[in-house]
Amino acid sequence: MIVFAVELLNLFILFKYVLGYEFRKTRIPIAIGMILIVANCGLRIVFLNSMTYEVDYLITGISTMLPAFFCKGRVCVVAGLSASIEMAVALLYNMFLGIALIALKGDIEALDGTHIALIMQAVLLILYCCMAFFLREKRKQIHWVMEKIPPFAFIIFAVAMFAFRWSSYFVGAVEQNEAQLIYASNMTSNGLQGIFVIVICILVIYLRSQKQILKHQVLLNEKCIEEQSKQYQFMGEKDQELRKFLHDYNKHVTMLQMLMEKGNLEVLKSYIKDLGTIKERLDYISANHIICDAILNQYCELCIQDEIKLSVMGKFPVGMKICEVDLCVILSNAVENAYEAAKKCEGNRKIHFEIRSHGNMVLIEITNPTVKKLVIRDGFIETTKEDKVCHGYGTRNMREAALRNGGDVTWEYDGGGVVLTRITLLCDEK
């Protein structure tokens, strides 16, 4: 039972603190998982002294299913990961048995499998703890990479581990001790080959993930450039509108004077109202940062079309430098979420965007209405979209980008239909 307890602890550390999986909050999957743990314990106790291959396979199968009931994520990926880990651990156990049997010179009677299993789990515990410590900053990235692995890859890996494990048996006419030594040598050799395959698989996953991350970074850079291009185009259009207005400015003033002299107040009011419409077309939002300006002006046009009031206060401090790609990720997601939420509301369609600064710290607050009751769990707003596995990454990307700039992103929901997004960023002086 001690071995099983350490095995559960290892699974917990591996999935939670190395692979970055969050645990489920719903009761039914957790209850099923607890039942499986009890069943696993029961089988180990009942068949303690009469363990058969069938019971061993059943226990392994139950252990394989446990993470799928406790961990959030794609079920096929979590189950595939768990099966691959179980097969790899079984192969390592065979290797430890082989090393011990070689040390005992083939004396299988003196071999204690329980002690070997406990030693192996202790080694894995130390390994997982070290991985959790050194990879703590990469946990979310590792989780993102794991979720992108195709399920069939786990099947191939598990079959390979199984083949290594069962290719260790030896059939031949030799003495008992010599046969056990050959068997032990095969187990050790296959275990080392299995470790080599595991290392190769990790390298392949790492290279694949680096390619995906690079591709993702290129997309973000392209989006950042696109936002800048839109802002330049927008400013060019505003400049043309301003030039047209200035060209006819004297004519407008002359016309106003004529209308006043004639006392035609109704026509004068209508003319001034039309001039106000022209002024609205000339207005643009300036927050002292081209990326912020591009995003705000883009959504300002959309808000006008959908009759949503967008108010902006404050500016970025002069002489402060912020990573443009990260700022684009943060603001584009934040303003888009606020716009989409306000668009679904029938009343109180207002978005307030405010920038404040203190020293080299910038605080951005976005307030918007929402029609749906929001749930903030583990510091993140749970997505209201049906496909929760494939959505909800925008808020996580926002926080990761903020953390890279010495800040953070938090959300508050007042329970009455108003959401506050608070963004803090640490700016470097130019």
In the beta sheet, which residues pair with residue 365?
Answer: 354, 422
336 vs 256, higher pLDDT? 336
**For 93, phi and psi rounded to 5 degrees?**
-60, -40
Q: Which amino acid is at 100?
A: A
pLDDT of residue 378 exceeding 80, the answer is: no
pLDDT at 290: 79
237 vs 312, higher pLDDT? 312
pLDDT for 148-173, tens place per residue?
888 888 888 888 888 887 776 655 55
**What is the pLDDT of the chain when averaged over all its residues?**
81
pLDDT at 417: 85
pLDDT band at 128 (very low <50, low <70, confident <90, very high): very high
Q: Dihedral of CA 59/63/66/68: which sign?
A: negative
**Rounded CA separation 90/96 (Å):** 10
pLDDT at 124: 92
pLDDT band at 253 (very low <50, low <70, confident <90, very high): low
**Rounded CA separation 322/406 (Å):** 11
In the chain, what are the domain boundaries? Answer: 2-23+71-218, 287-430
**For 41, phi and psi rounded to 5 degrees?**
-60, -45
- Residue 1 burial by Cβ neighbours in a 10 Å radius (0-12, 13-18, 19+): exposed
Give CATH superfamily name and number for 287-430: Histidine kinase-like ATPase, C-terminal domain (3.30.565.10)
Per-residue pLDDT averaged across 398-421, rounded? Answer: 85
The CA–CA distances, whole Å, from 381 to 111, 136, 144 equal 54, 23, 18
pLDDT of residue 426 exceeding 80, the answer is: yes
Q: Cα 366 to the chain's mean position, in Å?
A: 22
Whole-number percent of the chain with pLDDT over 70? 81
**Rounded CA separation 247/137 (Å):** 58
pLDDT for 22-60, tens place per residue?
888 888 888 998 998 888 888 878 877 777 777 877 888
In this structure, what token pair is assigned to residue 267?
């026509």
pLDDT at 277: 62
pLDDT at 125: 93
pLDDT of residue 339 exceeding 90, the answer is: yes
pLDDT at 130: 94
**Rounded CA separation 205/198 (Å):** 10
Please check whether residue 70 is in contact with residue 142, taking contact to mean a CB–CB distance below 8 angstroms: no
In the beta sheet, which residues pair with residue 354?
Answer: 313, 365
Q: Dihedral of CA 105/109/110/115: which sign?
A: positive
pLDDT at 49: 73
**Rounded CA separation 126/404 (Å):** 29
pLDDT for 170-226, tens place per residue?
555 556 677 778 878 888 888 888 889 889 988 888 888 888 778 877 877 777 777
Whole-number percent of the chain with pLDDT over 90? 12
Indicate the pairing of strand 408-413 with strand 418-426: antiparallel
pTM: 0.62
pLDDT at 390: 44
Residue 331: its H or E element: helix 324-343
Exposure string for 347-360, b = 16+ CB within 10 A, e = fewer: eebbbebebebeee
pLDDT for 44-54, tens place per residue?
788 777 777 77
Nearest-5° angle of CA 158, CA 138, CA 71? Answer: 50
Is 160 strand, coil or helix?
helix
pLDDT of residue 242 exceeding 70, the answer is: no
